[in-house]
């Protein structure tokens, strides 16, 4: 397993985005050449998930199942004129056929377009307003059967700001840290790759709480991938 850090872009323009997506995908494939290395990628924003999932799927020769923990579905067809934005990554993944199942957990900022896109792609969207009803199922997930494995994507803003205020897009009413640990630790499936994204050090508290939480998430995913 290898941890890769991919930071935010300073420029968003079509040609550059195409080139950057290609560079990221090829970098991940290079890492995966060295068996049994499995990439754990650190953001940056959530735009990195698309090229990483694409690389993993292409390298392994088929789609994966995705567990996506986030306050937002990130499935806009296009956001602010950018089809590769942080808010569009999972639309590109599903369009490309790189995932069979996509489970989104922790949602609490979702628009009509987000729900419509979810239906279009056959996604499983779990909103926080029904978490008390869904939690037993979500804490006993079994993914990856019949595909090339499981990809886990954790946006730190899936957590309630009480646990992780240092994120780019704060949304109250989120998961507790224990909720997230229960979901990850009880997940059954071969985790072949993962990412942790959207920690924003400029918004971290003086005590560094969000950095500590993000680091713990990385450790948990490292353990999951290494099994």
Binding-site annotation, residues for Mn(2+): 46, 70, 72, 74, 155, 157
C-alpha to C-alpha distances, 37 to 26, 28, 56, 96, 159, nearest whole angstrom: 15, 10, 11, 24, 28
CA distance 97 to 15: 23
CA distance 211 to 108: 23
Residue for token pair 């991940």: 28
Closest to 1 (Cα-Cα) out of 143, 156, 153, 194: 194
Annotated binding site: 46, 70, 72, 74, 155, 157
CA distance 99 to 95: 9
Rounded to a whole number, what is the distance in angstroms from the first to the last CA of the chain? 10
- Who's near 225: CB < 8 A, 6+ residues apart? 1, 38, 40, 191, 192, 193, 194
Yes or no: say if 56 and 193 are a contact pair by the CB < 8 Å rule: yes
For residue 107, give both structure tokens.
Answer: 């949602």
Residue for token pair 């090829």: 26
CA distance 32 to 120: 31
Tell me which DSSP letter residue 36 carries: T
């Amino acid at each position: 397993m290898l941890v890769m850090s991919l930071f935010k872009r300073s420029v968003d323009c079509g040609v550059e985005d195409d080139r950057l997506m290609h560079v990221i995908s090829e970098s991940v494939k290079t890492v995966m050449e060295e068996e049994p290395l499995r990439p754990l990628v650190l953001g940056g924003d959530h735009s990195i998930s698309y090229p990483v999932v694409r690389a993993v799927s292409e390298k392994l020769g088929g789609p994966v199942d995705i567990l996506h923990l986030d306050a937002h579905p990130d499935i806009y067809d296009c956001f602010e004129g950018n089809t590769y934005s942080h808010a569009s990554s999972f639309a590109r993944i599903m369009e490309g056929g790189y995932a069979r199942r996509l489970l989104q957990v922790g949602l609490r900022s979702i628009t009509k377009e987000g729900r419509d896109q979810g239906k279009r792609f056959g996604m499983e969207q779990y909103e926080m307003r029904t978490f008390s009803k869904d939690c037993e199922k979500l804490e006993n997930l079994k993914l990856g059967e019949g595909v090339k494995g499981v990809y886990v994507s954790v946006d730190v803003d899936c957590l309630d700001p009480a646990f992780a205020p240092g994120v780019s897009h704060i949304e109250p009413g989120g998961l507790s840290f224990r909720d997230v640990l229960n979901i990850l630790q009880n997940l059954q499936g071969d985790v072949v790759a993962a990412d942790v994204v959207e920690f924003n050090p400029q918004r971290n508290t003086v005590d560094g709480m969000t950095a500590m939480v993000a680091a713990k998430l990385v450790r948990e995913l490292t353990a999951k991938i290494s099994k």
